Amino acid sequence: MIMKKKKKKFIFRSSNQEYHSKTQSGILYIFEKVIRSHPLLYYIFRSLIRFTNIFEEDFDGIKLIKFKKKINIMDVGASDGIASKFFIKHLYVNKILCYEPNKHYIDTLRSLKIKNLIIKPYALGSKNMQKNIFYPSYRFFNRNLKLITYTHYDINFLKQQILLDFKYRKKISIVKKKILIKKIKNEKYKIDLIKIDTNGFELSVINGLKEIIKRDRPALILESNQDIKKIHKILNKIKYRSYYFSLNEKKLKIVRKKYPLNAYFLQKKHLN
């Protein structure tokens, strides 16, 4: 499934393009900025955080969504299972379907030994194919530390994100790999919640899951990117509205203009 990899050095140049990536408030926001400033700090912290209960504050909006019974969840871009563990802690969960193509994360998910996790070792998209992905690697003495959480499908977006986050970029290179992507035509479980965090591939995932979304009308939370307005248009046709979780007011509010990093797409039943 994971094919040969290539590593290249890049010169990172700044641009005028900006991405809003605030997921925490107050002291946690400042702490996050410091951690992300150096690749080594980020690598150490990200390796340890899965053993804690720290998670993005704007995911707290999930606790406000109304579900009538035990729910089935699709965790698309499951990484090391940090979101799935959050769901298990705060929601009444039946099954979580974890879609994750990276072998390191697949092994990590299996090591969790959580009985209601179903691990799917591939990515989701609008068709079956293999596709290149890119992630940064930081050279530390004789080791290459893989910053897999920064995996992107578009190398230019990855370079831009590296520029925005890291102050120390001299020893960063970019690794290219191929992953397997599948389109899911049907799912035997009724899906109640879909979380999508695929660093720019969200539109393709939405298109691939369109029939399941129409059938089950699940709540969705996904990472905003350049395609968020296209996603809004698709979901609006089947009576979804877009929301964000206000970190100050601790409630879900309708998106008026600017999308946050994590956007909620909900129907009336999810709030009543």
What is the per-residue pLDDT for 30? Answer: 63
Per-residue pLDDT at 175 exceeds 90: yes
**pLDDT tens per residue, range 190-229:** 999 999 999 999 999 999 999 999 999 999 999 998 899 9
Confidence of residue 29 (pLDDT cuts 50, 70, 90): low
Q: CA 246 → CA 119, 250, 253, 268, distances in Å?
A: 32, 5, 7, 19
User: Could you tell me the pTM of the whole model?
Assistant: 0.86
**pLDDT tens per residue, range 219-254:** 999 999 889 999 999 999 999 999 999 989 999 999
What is the per-residue pLDDT for 31? Answer: 58
Q: CA 121 → CA 78, 88, 103, 141, 247, distances in Å?
A: 10, 20, 8, 32, 34
Domain range annotation of the chain:
6-10+22-270
Task: Give the pLDDT mean for 104-114.
Answer: 92
| Cβ atoms 246, 258 nearer than 8 A | no
What is the per-residue pLDDT for 231? Answer: 97
Q: Which CATH superfamily is domain 6-10+22-270 in?
A: Vaccinia Virus protein VP39 (3.40.50.150)
